């Protein structure tokens, strides 16, 4: 079975997190904990927070972060239209420099949806 981009990303992220944990201090661990806590249910539901994270990641042009939030959005059951609309906001806010990241994000999304070679 072919390993997907997200599978490779998740495995590498886990591997690097284990290495990082050998070196991180209380300060770094507190930051990582805060990041984890921020995406839990609160005044905003978790699924909304994941979309916000996706848009912010696009604007900041962080492919690892984009993949992380795309996977979470996929797991939460977002539709193609919802993802496209959210990522369009990232494009609007971030400008044309976001386009390469948008391309890669849609390729990953398409792969997760099982439409890797599908075109309109």
pLDDT tens track for 57-108: 999 999 999 999 999 999 999 999 999 999 999 999 999 999 999 999 999 9
Rounded to whole angstroms, how far apart are CA atoms 70 and 63?
A: 10
| Residue that the structure tokens 């400008």 belong to | 95
CATH 3.40.50.300 fits 5-37+46-113, yes or no: no
Say which DSSP state 44 is in.
S
What is residue 116's predicted lDDT score, i.e. its pLDDT? 59
Q: Over the range 52-86, which residues count as b (16 or more CB within 10 Å of their CB) and which as e?
A: bbbbbbbbeeeeebbbbbbbbbbeeebeeeebeeb
pLDDT for 119 beyond 60: no
Helices 46-60, 80-94: axis angle to 10 degrees equals 40
What does the pLDDT look like over 41-59, one tens digit per residue? 999 999 999 999 999 999 9
Name which of 117, 56, 116, 47 is nearest 82 in CA terms. 47
């Amino acid at each position: 079975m072919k390993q997907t981009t997200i599978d490779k990303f998740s495995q590498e992220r886990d591997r690097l997190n284990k290495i990082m944990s050998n070196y991180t201090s209380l300060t770094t661990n507190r930051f990582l904990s805060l990041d984890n806590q921020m995406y839990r249910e609160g005044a905003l539901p978790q699924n909304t927070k994941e979309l916000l994270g996706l848009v912010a990641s696009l604007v900041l042009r962080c492919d690892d972060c984009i993949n992380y939030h795309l996977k979470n959005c996929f797991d939460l059951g977002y539709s193609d239209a919802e993802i496209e609309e959210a990522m369009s906001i990232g494009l609007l806010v971030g400008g044309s420099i976001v386009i390469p990241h948008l391309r890669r994000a849609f390729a990953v999304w398409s792969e997760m949806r099982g439409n890797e070679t599908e075109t309109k």
